Chains A and B, each alone.
Chain A
Amino acid sequence: MRDVRLGASNVHTSLLRVLMTNACSFNCHYCPMRRDREMPRTLLKPGELVRVFLAAHRRGWCEGLFITTGIPGRPANVMDDLIQVLELLRLKHGFRGYIHVKAVPGAEQAQLERLTQLASRVSLNLETPCGQTLAQIAPEKSLDVSLASLEHIRSRVRREWEEAADGKPRDALRPNGASGMTMQFVVGATPDSDRAILGRVTELYARPGIHHTHFSAFRPIRDTPLEAAPETPVGRERRLYQTDYLLRRYGFAPGDVVFDAEGNLPLGLDPKVAAALTRPERFPVDVRTASREELLRVPGIGPATARRIVTERAGTVLRDLRDLRRLGVVTTRAAGFLTIGGRRCADVRWAEQMLFWGPDDDVGRYHAVYEVSPGTFR
Chain B
Amino acid sequence: MRVSTDLQTRLKLLVDLAVDDHDGPPQRLST
| A interface residues, Cβ below 8 angstroms from B | 2, 4-6, 15-22, 32-33, 40, 42-44, 48, 52, 55-56, 59, 66, 68, 100, 212-214, 238, 241-242, 244-246, 250, 270-272, 299-302, 305, 330, 333, 372, 374-378
Determine the chain B residues whose CB is within 8 A of the CB of A212 once the complex forms. Answer: 24-25
29 A–B contacts, CB within 8 A, in A order: A4-B22, A4-B24, A5-B27, A16-B15, A18-B11, A18-B18, A19-B14, A19-B15, A22-B14, A32-B17, A40-B13, A44-B10, A48-B7, A52-B3, A52-B7, A55-B1, A66-B23, A100-B23, A212-B24, A241-B25, A242-B29, A245-B30, A272-B31, A302-B30, A305-B31, A374-B19, A374-B21, A376-B17, A378-B23
Known pairs A299-B31, A302-B31, A377-B18; A4 contacts B13 (CB<8 A) = no
Closest to B2 in A: A55
Give the docked Cα–Cα distance between A305 and B31 (Å): 9
B31 pairs with A22, CB closer than 8 A: no
B21 pairs with A5, CB closer than 8 A: no
Candidates A68, A214, A270, A300; contact of B25 at CB < 8 Å: A214
Give the docked Cα–Cα distance between A271 and B30 (Å): 9
B18 pairs with A245, CB closer than 8 A: no
Closest chain B CB from A85 CB (angstroms): 13
Give the docked Cα–Cα distance between A278 and B14 (Å): 47
Closest chain B CB from A371 CB (angstroms): 10
| B interface residues, Cβ below 8 angstroms from A | 1, 3, 7, 9-11, 13-31
Closest chain A CB from B5 CB (angstroms): 13
Closest chain A CB from B25 CB (angstroms): 5
Give the docked Cα–Cα distance between A253 and B9 (Å): 48
Closest to A70 in B: B17
Known pairs A17-B20, A19-B17, A377-B20; A56 contacts B30 (CB<8 A) = no
Q: Which 7 A-B pairs have the closest CB atoms?
A: A4-B23, A5-B24, A19-B14, A17-B18, A55-B1, A4-B24, A302-B31
Closest chain A CB from B22 CB (angstroms): 7
Known pairs A238-B29, A305-B31, A333-B31; A17 contacts B19 (CB<8 A) = yes
A241 pairs with B29, CB closer than 8 A: yes
Give the docked Cα–Cα distance between A301 and B28 (Å): 11
Give the docked Cα–Cα distance between A273 and B17 (Å): 37
Determine the chain A residues whose CB is within 8 A of the CB of B14 once the complex forms. Answer: 18-22, 42-44
Closest to B14 in A: A19
B11 pairs with A374, CB closer than 8 A: no
Give the docked Cα–Cα distance between A66 and B3 (Å): 20
